[in-house]
Amino acid sequence: MSNQIAENFARGSRYSCGKLVSCGQLDLFDLDPQRDVGLCRIVECMTNAISDLPRGLHFVGSLSPNLPPDPCLELKRVFEHSEGRALTALPCDPDPRWAEGYLRDTTGTRPEVFETVHDGGYTGYQDMRSNKVRKRVELRPEHVSANRMPELRRTLEAFRIIRSEHKELTDTRLQISVPNPLDPALFTFPRSPGNSLRCLDVSERAALDEAHELAQIADGDVVWQLENPSVLIGMNMVRMARLLRTWLTGRLVGQVGNLLARFPGPLLLLLHLCYGGFRHQEWFTPRSFGPAVKFLNGLRSHLRSESVTELPPVHHPTAHGAHPPPTARQFYEPPRNLHPEWRMIAGVVMPDDLEASLATLDKMERNARRETYAVAARGTGRIPESVAIQATKAMIKTAVARHDHSSGSTAADNQTAVARSP
């Protein structure tokens, strides 16, 4: 197999087989270098092809709030700003209100089911609407569903139109974000964790019903981005209590693992970890990647026990709220222990500081001993469109940067000057 054929194969299959060849280890394929000379050469070509490819671009968060509510225009705008670079998927999440939108438009419009305990002003995480289920009401999936299917159908149709018009998008899928059902359960009953847990099963059924309904028409064209702020937030809340932290980590691993295992087969997945970002406010200030690594290694083991063989790429956040990525060396050390099958999406890009973005990416890749699968900036749906465009340009420059991890140098020709241009 020639290098060109291997490169084409790698580009077309980067999502599905990238984890197998990104480590460059023949033992992942159970090959004998002397017996399987031809196959070893194929694996070597695939490994070199993928390692020579620029990192992909990954968009997190919704689109800018001042864009018109037209999925065709939204999708085309993201594609054009990406300048033909490889995308993990093409996103279209038009609602920048996030938790506020869910509480206002879902639980807030069903007074026959939910009674308002505190009518929040939505100025921050501590000022959200708080609810309780009315007496003699049995909570059902339709009570907590956001009823997005009409909108998702329109978005999928628009995506297929855009993809048919641009051959560069032939192998690209549509990204649909869905919160871990634990998050809307916690936001619905923020003053009653017990009610949140009792609501969790209903929230999971609502999310899975939506996924199965979309899978019937998706035909392999959709990637679900499962957003999980509750994972790192929860682990931070018990960080000082070792036994409680171990117990909670196991519960979170089980909850996310069981959910992933129940998603319909035709849908591909991306895993999104974050520290929260409502109105540019993080829930807490992270200290290191340690909790994320502990969670992901546990999740891998759980998914293997559920016979899930394909680990989704996972977004690792560095920036939090309105703050830049931490600079402390020890923050980036835990990924040394991250299992090599995890493909990392590096949330390192700062729209106005490419030099810092590159330095942060270098720290992540050095410690993780792998090149990241893609790079991302903070959620572009909560910043002006002009800044979102600047963020995309910075993502592109960061994605194509080459790092020499043996010498500590970064080959990023003229990158800083370009990144600071509008």
Half-sphere exposure of 364 (CA within 13 A, CB side): 28
What are the residues facing 133 on neighbouring strands? Answer: 114
SS3 call for 66: coil
Question: Alpha-carbon dihedral of residues 200, 202, 204, 205, nearest 10 degrees?
Answer: 170
Tens digits of residue pLDDT in 132-153: 788 888 888 988 888 889 989 9
Please work out, in degrees rounded to the nearest 5, the angle formed at the alpha carbon of residue 93 by the alpha carbons of 90 and 98.
Answer: 145
Overall size of the chain counted in residues: 422
Tens digits of residue pLDDT in 282-341: 666 777 899 999 999 999 999 999 888 889 999 998 866 567 788 888 989 999 999 999
Q: Which residues contact 315 (CB under 8 A, 6 or more apart)?
A: 58, 60, 270, 271, 272, 273, 274, 345, 347, 376
The answer on pLDDT for 414 being more than 60 is no
Q: Write down the residue that tokens 């080959």 correspond to.
A: 411
Tens digits of residue pLDDT in 206-260: 999 999 999 999 988 999 899 888 888 888 777 667 778 889 899 999 999 999 9
Q: Which residues contact 16 (CB under 8 A, 6 or more apart)?
A: 268, 310
Backbone angles phi, psi at 177, to 5 degrees: -90, 140
* For range 8-28, the mean pLDDT: 37
Backbone angles phi, psi at 406, to 5 degrees: -80, -30
CA–CA separation, 366 and 335 (whole Å): 9
